[in-house]
Amino acid sequence: MEHHGVHIFGCYGRRFALDPENVEVSELGEPNLRKMEQGDVSSRAIRAYQKALDNATDPPPVASSLEFENITDIALLVSQECNLRCVYCYADGGRYDSGGYMKEETALQSVDWLIQHSGDQERICIRFYGGEPFLKFDLIKKVVNYSKRRAEEVGKRIHFCVTTNAVLLNAESINFLKENNIDVVVSMDGPKDIQDMQRPCVNGEGSYEKTVKQVRSLLKVRPETFARATVYDDSPKEKVIEGLREIGFKTPLLTHISGSMFLESSAKQDDDKLMSLIEQEGESFLKNLRDRNETYFNQGRIAVMWGRMIRQAMELFISSSKKTIHCSAGRWYVAISCTGEIYPCHRLVGVENEKIGNVFENALERDAYRAGPLPHQEKCQSCFARYVCAGSCFHDNLTATGSIYETDEIWCSLVRRTVEYGAAIAGSLTQEDKTFLQSQECIPTESACPLDLF
């Protein structure tokens, strides 16, 4: 229910008033709501609501001319080929329509391009991405050695990450990852039956046995390695988390299959089921908070994506902070294809209209990404979730609606419910709850991509 720009909603059997413009929330008991309707404005909750009402402006002014940052992070697609054929792949089996491998000249030029476009920023980051990056391990070694030398020459600190399915790891590559302090995200979907079904090899065989041995060796030297699992609405998420923990991952992260990952009917989602998963996660979040369950909070990185979204909303409402940019695509982060073309992010690689440059040229056309979808979308501007959601993923939007700015309404309704849960929790915290959350390092973190890169 909307009331003069203030959103009234129910969660946990209670009523809340959410002031979107100021990212504030107040609890409204039913008796207070009734009193308010009768014109009695004496109670504290009603005064808080009234304050929110006074603050509310409509339509809200949303960010429209944010300055661009320097580019500090790149995804380097050293291989647009893959040794697996995951059933939900958004990238055409890792090929992004064209396929191929990056040449050494393009890779080294990409490093120089990053250094140049990072301006006066001291810290830069190269994320090896694919397809499967370890199909080009030789090139990864060359890039790491070259960029370390170049970064030292210009006085920058360089950080490396790699996202891999782990199948091709061996003693040499694992040692290289350790020696060079390279952060690793392993894409793995959990126990054998799920992994084999969702992430088969090119020949159709399961990939679990081929993956798990390498992962165990990797975890011995890089125990902080993340696992990123993709789940469907009816995936047994506890089983996935347990399967990943059994292998030895301390930090399993589950991302729900999104619109951009649909492959015809193979991943048809049930919207009601998705909504009920969010309701479950909202209940689970509060219960785990009250039980002081450190495993659930996982140093602030809650395993399930809906839980991470609720956490983010909660934190924004606690600090009354606005998020105006959904992700860093085209801002401080871009992806470089194996031919040296530059795209706003890894998922948009190969989308001809979204190409924004080339590492062999200087120009970078990223005006379309200047302010994210918020100022472009009327429905975002009047949405109560606007300063938490900030307009959704460009790639998901493009896949669902044909426009990078236009969001899918079903997705919006799911996001709005996570925002309600996050706001309701923020509006109900005790001092002890806050102290516990602080001890769990539940503070907002900005990642290049909230869906794939951690």
* Interacting residues toward ligand SF4 by CB under 6 A: 327, 329, 345, 347, 377, 379-380, 383, 385-386, 389, 391-395, 407, 412, 415-416, 449-452
Q: At what angle do helices 271-290 and 431-439 cross, to 10 degrees?
A: 100
Q: Is 29 within 8 Å of 15 (Cβ atoms)?
A: yes
Residue with tokens 């426009």: 403
d(CA 429, CA 280): 19
Residue whose CB is less far from ligand SF4, 46 or 334: 334
- Give least dist CB 3 to ligand SF4, A: 18
Least CB distance to ligand SF4 at residue 73 (A): 10
CB of 372 to ligand SF4, least distance (A): 9
- CB closer to ligand SF4, 133 vs 344: 344
What is the Cα–Cα distance from 2 to 18, expressed in whole angstroms? 9
Extract the runs of DSSP E, i.e. beta strands, from 235-340.
Answer: 251-256, 333-336
End-to-end CA distance of the chain: 35
**Closest separation in Å from C-beta 108 to ligand SF4:** 25
Q: How far is the CB of 283 from ligand SF4 (least distance, A)?
A: 21
CA 374, CA 221: separation in Å to the nearest integer?
Answer: 43
Q: Within 10 Å of residue 152's Cβ, how many Cβ atoms?
A: 11
The helix or strand, by DSSP H or E, that contains position 198, with its residue range, turns out to be helix 192-198
Closer Cβ to ligand SF4, 13 or 61, answer by number: 61
- Sequence-distant (≥ 6) Cβ neighbours of residue 339 within 8 angstroms: 98, 100, 102, 106
User: Which of residues 28 and 389 has its CB atom nearest to ligand SF4 in the complex?
Assistant: 389
Between residues 31 and 59, which has the closer beta carbon with respect to ligand SF4? 59
Which residues lie closer than 8 Å to 161 by C-beta, 6 or more apart? 125, 126, 127, 128, 182, 183, 184, 185, 453
Based on CB atoms, which residue is closest to ligand SF4, 15 or 395?
A: 395
Q: How far is the CB of 181 from ligand SF4 (least distance, A)?
A: 24
Please identify, using beta-carbon distances, which residue of 207 and 399 lies nearer to ligand SF4: 399
Distance of CA 404 to the CA centre of its chain: 17
Show Cβ contacts of residue 412 under 8 Å, excluding neighbours closer than 6 positions.
379, 383, 385, 389, 392
Q: Is 265 exposed, middle or buried (0-12, 13-18, 19+ CB in 10 A)?
A: exposed
Q: How far is the CB of 36 from ligand SF4 (least distance, A)?
A: 26
Q: How far is the CB of 389 from ligand SF4 (least distance, A)?
A: 3
- Minimum Å gap between C-beta 394 and ligand SF4 is 4
Tokens standing for residue 435:
């102290």
Closest CA to 277 of 254, 300, 252: 254
Amino acid at position 369, single letter: Y
Q: Which is nearer to ligand SF4, 232 or 384 (CB)?
A: 384
- How far is 55 from 49, CA to CA, in rounded Å? 10
Q: How far is the CB of 396 from ligand SF4 (least distance, A)?
A: 6
Pairing status of strand 157-164 against strand 123-129: parallel
